[in-house]
Amino acid sequence: MSDDEREEKELDLTSPEVVTKYKGAAEIVNKALQLVVSECKPKAKIVDLCEKGDAFIKEQTGNMYKNVKKKIERGVAFPTCISVNNTVCHFSPLSNDETILEEGDMVKIDMGCHIDGFIAVVAHTHVVQGGPVTGRAADVLAAANTAAEVALRLVRPGRKNSDVTEAIQKVAAAYDCKIVEGVLSHQMKQFVIDGNKVVLSVSNPDTRVDDAEFEENEVYSVDIVTSTGEGKPKLLDEKQTTIYKRAVDKSYNLKMKASRFIFSEISQKFPIMPFTARDLEEKRARLGLVECVNHDLLQPYPVLHEKPGDLVAHIKFTVLLMPNGSDRITSHALQELSPAKTIDDEPEIKTWLALPVKTKKKGGGKKKKGKKGESSQADPMEGEPNVAES
């Protein structure tokens, strides 16, 4: 066995320490999400919510592994984004932005945390209102939630990525909604938020991915985005982009002083994980980031939009493919939904939802120990398909 193979073997879910780090990151990001959801009220400034989410993750991770000899990287794995109504994703504005939430807004919260590069991500959709969510808002949220529940049961060893792609599109259609194109569910590894094994949201001739089979001890970020519109989002304004990730395999001699300054800051502070321009020295950032992006040193995460009036829902969770079944380690309970559409006449979807998430235990005390602390994290979404059917 080569050193590389040994290294990889030591750093997957066969190591109890790795599982602990994933679940530690998940516990923090679940609490950060809970905090942000509780602050989603009319007149709340979106940038304030983003900053609160990130600050909570930084504070909680900062309190861990303080006294270890070897420095353990930890903190934000994906900056908090708050995308409202027809905005699909990645809205995390600069500090001077005045955008606020309004009563009835459909708010998508997306965030990530890591401990030693082991990443837990989550996204959740919350409608700013009291009482049950009804009408098309309920349909699109139920579609996302039911699709997420089906995906949880199909992202399992022996299944193929194409099985998931086909299934989630059928679920969305049952609610007269569309799965949004261009969204990818990724395998995650240590310090890798977007691994090579992916699940396509919508298969079409323009977007192809390699066929892949899920395997035991893998970790996935399962990403479901549904829309009452066409599901073909557009980039309206590049200036809205504030989230970037360093492209570690690219190099270029930057010409502008501002670009060199900003790129040096990024390389020191955010060598691997996505970051927000809010965390950079802002005066030079806007100018310097453009040259970095133009020469592929940074990968931008663009803010995409459906048409005005469309509603978009987003649910994302992290799942560990353990020997005793799937452990969904990130989630948040949904509001009460009263959708107009149901899956009552969809036997195939009901069959998927009836599949078990856990397999029979194969013994081994260590596994049980990890699972016990996890169950409270996964419970909120476990029963949700019933809500979607009601």
Helix (H) or strand (E) holding 109: strand 106-115
For 144-169, b/e burial (b = at least 16 CB within 10 A) is: bbbbbbbbbbbbbbeeebebbbebbb
What span, in angstroms and rounded, lies between the C-alpha atoms of 139 and 134? 8
Q: How confident is the model at residue 67 (pLDDT cuts 50, 70, 90)?
A: confident
Instruction: Map residue 192 onto helix, strand or coil.
Output: strand
> Comparing 33-47, 56-70, 146-160, 366-380, which segment has the lowest mean pLDDT?
366-380
Output the average pLDDT for the chain: 89
Give every CB contact of residue 10 below 8 A, 6+ residues apart in sequence.
none
Confidence (pLDDT) at 270: 94
> Comparing 4-18, 100-114, 212-226, 334-348, which segment has the lowest mean pLDDT?
4-18
pTM of the model as a whole: 0.90
Q: How confident is the model at residue 6 (pLDDT cuts 50, 70, 90)?
A: very low
Q: How confident is the model at residue 349 (pLDDT cuts 50, 70, 90)?
A: very high
Confirm if 57 and 111 have CB atoms less than 8 A apart: yes
What span, in angstroms and rounded, lies between the C-alpha atoms of 382 and 374? 13
Q: How confident is the model at residue 383 (pLDDT cuts 50, 70, 90)?
A: very low
Q: How confident is the model at residue 363 (pLDDT cuts 50, 70, 90)?
A: very low
Span 119-141, pLDDT tens digits: 999 999 999 999 999 999 999 99
Q: How confident is the model at residue 286 (pLDDT cuts 50, 70, 90)?
A: confident
Give every CB contact of residue 226 below 8 A, 6+ residues apart in sequence.
140, 141, 143, 144, 147, 172, 175, 177, 178, 179, 180, 312, 313, 314
Confirm if 228 and 139 have CB atoms less than 8 A apart: yes
Span 302-333, pLDDT tens digits: 999 999 999 999 999 999 999 999 999 999 99
Span 86-115, pLDDT tens digits: 999 999 999 999 999 999 999 999 999 999
Q: How confident is the model at residue 55 (pLDDT cuts 50, 70, 90)?
A: very high
Confidence (pLDDT) at 227: 98
Confidence (pLDDT) at 46: 98
Confidence (pLDDT) at 65: 86
- CA-based end-to-end distance of the chain: 54
Percent of the chain with pLDDT over 90: 80
Write out the DSSP string of 248-271.
Answer: TT------SHHHHHHHHHHHHH-S
What span, in angstroms and rounded, lies between the C-alpha atoms of 301 and 89? 9
Confidence (pLDDT) at 361: 53
Question: Which residue in 96, 45, 110 sits closest to 285, CA to CA?
Answer: 96
Confidence (pLDDT) at 360: 61
Q: What would the mean pLDDT of 63-76 be, rounded to a whole number?
A: 89
CB-neighbour burial class of residue 191 (10 A; exposed 0-12, middle 13-18, buried 19+): middle
Instruction: Map residue 364 onto helix, strand or coil.
Output: coil
